[in-house]
């Protein structure tokens, strides 16, 4: 299995309960598909460099996990159809220590 990192930009208008629901749903997708979550954290509300969906602020969430490639595809599909997620990026990490150097 490969290590991946996914960074999500969520709408600033989402309630904390809805953000947690999104986080939980994605976690269950990873763990249910034989993946393993290495690290999950919230970066919180940040000012954006340029407006996204007419918003100047956004809520960032980050996940580092081990998963097979097919699971990453399924995770990204769920992210695309979820309401309240403006943007996301998933990158393959070279090694597990790369996420902790930062």
CB within 8 A of 12, min separation 6: which ones? 45, 55, 57, 58, 59
| 100 within some domain | no
Instruction: Note down the domain range covering 35.
Output: 2-94
Per-residue pLDDT band at 50 (split at 50, 70, 90): very high
**How many domains are there within the chain?**
1
Is the torsion defined by CA of 90, 102, 64, 43 positive or negative? negative
Q: What is the pLDDT at residue 101?
A: 54
% of the chain surpassing 70 pLDDT: 92
| 6 within some domain | yes
CATH number for 47: 3.30.70.60
| 22 within some domain | yes
Per-residue pLDDT band at 96 (split at 50, 70, 90): low
């Amino acid at each position: 299995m490969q290590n991946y990192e996914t960074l999500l930009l969520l709408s600033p208008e989402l309630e904390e309960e809805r953000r947690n629901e999104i986080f939980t749903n994605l976690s269950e997708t990873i763990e249910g598909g034989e993946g393993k979550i290495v690290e999950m954290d919230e970066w919180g509300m940040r000012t954006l460099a340029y407006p996204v969906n007419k918003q100047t602020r956004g809520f960032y969430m980050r996940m580092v996990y081990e998963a097979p490639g097919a699971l990453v595809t399924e995770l990204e599909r769920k992210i695309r159809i979820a309401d309240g997620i403006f943007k996301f990026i998933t990158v393959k990490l070279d090694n597990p220590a790369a996420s902790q150097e930062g």
